[in-house]
Amino acid sequence: MDEVLRLAPAGLREALAERGAEVEEAWREGPRAYLRAGPVFARYSLAELDAPVLEHEASVRALVGEEGPLRAPPVLARGAGWLLERRVVPGDEPVEVVLAAAAELAELELPSPPVSPRRRLSLGPLRRRLRLLGRPRLAAELARARRLLAATRLPEVTTHGDFHPGNVLRAGGAAWVIDWELAGHGPAGYDLMRYWATLADPVEREGLYAGALELTGDELQLTRLRYAIAVITAADKLSHPEALNRDEEGAAAILAMLPELRAAAE
């Protein structure tokens, strides 16, 4: 924690001091760092390429706002390569708040992120491929998933791109969404199926899927999308470039569901 604080930009340290915020927890993920301090949360990056990413994050949050079913934690202060925001503590809100938030998100017009979502989401880099070499069956599933995703007939809508419980904080009767750097466009239901693949509670998965089906109105296309996103999510959990973002246990849970998801997608 001491190193994370020492490397933090001076402006961020001053903003924390002005609010009397004492850092309780701090960690790094590559060049990016995160700090929890009472009612506030801070993030900064030592990579110059992340400065426009954080600017984009702040601009999207201002557009989303703090009202309605879809919300974003407000940015309290910012500088080159850092943000200080209000901290949102997840509560026990029902999964229906996620459905309502995704429906509102799909209708938004958002600024394009500074880094292409396609490049960020790609599983093409060599280091990812190397981690999947020992799983030829998963590689074949991944190729099929990409084909299904490319061939979907679901309409294109605005998407967050990385909708999962860590980025969608259910609190205060709404979904507070963070980390908008992959925002772009994709098939209707994309965000909800990404969230579905990362839910641990089968009852919540069932409710989320039923709500997504009501929103999209096309069961075959939604089951194919669900299968494709589940495969891509499992592969990402196994091969992510950052070790902290790899999750073998989570990937195993998704892989165990694939036979049923594949059959439904036929």
CATH number at residue 185: 3.90.1200.10
Domain check: are 72 and 28 in the same one? yes
> Binning pLDDT at 50, 70 and 90, where does residue 129 land?
low
**Same domain, yes or no, for 106 and 33?**
no
> Would 136 be classed as within a structural domain?
yes
**Same domain (yes/no): 158, 254:** yes
Per residue in 32-79, pLDDT tens?
999 999 999 999 999 999 999 999 999 999 999 999 999 999 999 999
**Amino acid found at 5:** L
Listed residues 51, 86, 121: the one ending a domain: 86
Which pLDDT belongs to residue 121? 45
Percent share of the chain, pLDDT over 90: 82
Query: What's the chain look like in SS3?
Result: CHHHHHHCCHHHHHHHHHCCCCCCEEEEECCEEEEEECCEEEEEECCCCHHHHHHHHHHHHHHHCCCCCEECCCEEEEECCEEEEECCCCCCCCCHHHHHHHHHHHCCCCCCCCCCHHHHHCCCCHHHHHHCCCCHHHHHHHHHHHHHHHHCCCCEEEECCCCCCCCEEEECCEEEECCCCCCEEEECCHHHHHHHHCCCCHHHHHHHHHHHHHHHCCHHHHHHHHHHHHHHHHHHHHHCCCHHHCCHHHHHHHHHHHHHHHHHCC
Residues 19 and 78 in one domain: yes
- 101 shares its domain with 58: no
Higher-pLDDT residue of 124, 221: 221
**Domain match, 111 and 82 both:** no
Look up the domain containing 144 and give its range: 96-264
In a domain, 91, yes or no: no
User: Do the domain assignments include residue 161?
Assistant: yes
Domain total of the chain? 2
Angle at CA of residue 125, ends 119 and 129, nearest 5°: 135
Q: Averaged over 159-178, what is the pLDDT? A: 96
Per-residue pLDDT at 164 exceeds 50: yes
pLDDT at 126: 46
pLDDT tens readout for residues 96-113: 999 999 999 999 999 999
Which pLDDT value is given to residue 136?
79
Asked whether residue 123 is assigned to any structural domain, the reply reads yes
- How much is the pLDDT for 118? 43
Instruction: Supply the pLDDT for residue 128.
Output: 60
pLDDT of residue 117: 47
Q: Are residues 33 and 133 in the same domain?
A: no
Residue 199 has pLDDT above 70, yes or no: yes
Query: 232 and 118 in one domain?
Result: yes
What percent of the chain is modeled with pLDDT above 70?
A: 92
Say whether both 174 and 57 belong to one domain. no
Q: Identify whether 201 is part of a domain.
A: yes
Q: Is the pLDDT of residue 166 over 50?
A: yes
> Tell me, what's the pLDDT at 242?
73
Neighbours of 29 (CB within 10 A): 13
Please compute the mean of the pLDDT values over residues 176-182 and round it to a whole number.
Answer: 96
pLDDT number for residue 125: 56
Residue 226: pLDDT band (50, 70, 90) is very high
Kindly state the average pLDDT of the residues 117-133: 52
Q: Which amino acid belongs to residue 160?
A: H
Asked which of 86, 110, 143 is the last residue of a domain, the reply is 86
- Same domain? For 115 and 24 the reply is no
Question: How large is the average pLDDT for residues 217-222?
Answer: 97
The domain boundary, picked from 67, 86, 105, lies at 86
